Chains A and B, each alone.
Chain A
Amino acid sequence: QKEVEQNSGPLSVPEGAIASLNCTYSDRVSQSFFWYRQYSGKSPELIMSIYSNGDKEDGRFTAQLNKASQYVSLLIRDSQPSDSATYLCAVNTLNSSGGSNYKLTFGKGTLLTVNP
């Protein structure tokens, strides 16, 4: 059973601070990693994808991947109250033939609250 683990939170940070969200995964051959944001009562929205070890930055968001440690994180700089949402980590793994199985496994999400 491929697993994706996240702290459920809630993670509470003050406005302007850096929010750090973490995710670990069990399948060592996982290839593609995604962060989704989900506001209450809404559908998940893709905000970041990362495929290689290291950092990937997009505006206030930075995704970090360490395949050796099976760890992916999301940093949100200058957090805003509008960033308050649940953040879902998702992982795409390989099938038995070594190709992508085109299925994403999601963590249960971390609830982030940014306090004004």
Chain B
Amino acid sequence: DAGITQSPRHKVTETGTPVTLRCHQTENHRYMYWYRQDPGHGLRLIHYSYGVKDTDKGEVSDGYSVSRSKTEDFLLTLESATSSQTSVYFCAIRKTGGNGYTFGSGTRLTVV
């Protein structure tokens, strides 16, 4: 499936704890994205990356940070998780030469 792996697939964490989600690709694509999906809100862009160490904010970036030290890995960190960050998180890549995205399988995060 386009070589995208998200980990973990499911996670339950407590309010105030840090959480890191990982997106790994095997095809060397330049653009990677983190979205969250919530009922009534659809898919909203959190952060994206256009190369190693090159990242930018999306529409719902508050409370999130990202890092991309290698082409294949894009990490999303919740510095201090809150219940409002309970969501399904999708990583996506934009394949070179294309405009559409390919999505990973998602991470279901619950903050209690």
A interface residues with partner B (beta carbon < 8 Å): 32, 34, 42-46, 49, 51, 88, 90, 92, 100, 102-109
Given A103-B45, A103-B58, A107-B42: A49 and B99 interface contact (C-beta under 8 Å): yes
Given A102-B94, A103-B48, A108-B42: A43 and B100 interface contact (C-beta under 8 Å): no
Min CB–CB distance A18 → chain B (angstroms):
24
Given A43-B90, A43-B106, A44-B90: A104 and B101 interface contact (C-beta under 8 Å): yes
Which A residues touch B106, using CB under 8 A?
Answer: 42-43
Contact: B43 with A106, CB < 8 Å?
yes
Q: Which partner residue on chain A sits nearest B1 by CB separation?
A: A43
User: Is B40's CB within 8 Å of the partner chain A?
Assistant: yes
Contact among A46, A100, A107, A108 for B40, CB-based, below 8 A: A108
Min CB–CB distance A99 → chain B (angstroms):
12
Contact among B40, B42, B45, B105 for A43, CB-based, below 8 A: B105
User: Is B102's CB within 8 Å of the partner chain A?
Assistant: yes
Q: How far is the CA of A111 from the CA of B101 in the complex (A)?
A: 21
User: Is B103's CB within 8 Å of the partner chain A?
Assistant: yes
Q: How far is the CA of A51 from the CA of B98 in the complex (A)?
A: 12
Which A residues touch B45, using CB under 8 A?
Answer: 103-105
Per-residue A-contact encoding for B93-112, CB less than 8 Å = 1, 0 else: 01000011111111000000
User: A34-B100, A43-B105 known; 13 other A-B pairs, CB under 8 Å?
Assistant: A34-B99, A42-B106, A43-B106, A46-B100, A49-B99, A88-B42, A88-B43, A103-B58, A104-B101, A106-B35, A107-B42, A108-B40, A108-B41
Query: B50, B100, B102 — which one has the most chain A CB atoms within 10 A of its CB?
Result: B100
Min CB–CB distance B49 → chain A (angstroms):
10
Q: How far is the CA of A73 from the CA of B82 in the complex (A)?
A: 38
Min CB–CB distance A92 → chain B (angstroms):
6
Which A residues touch B42, using CB under 8 A?
Answer: 88, 106-109
Contact: B43 with A100, CB < 8 Å?
no
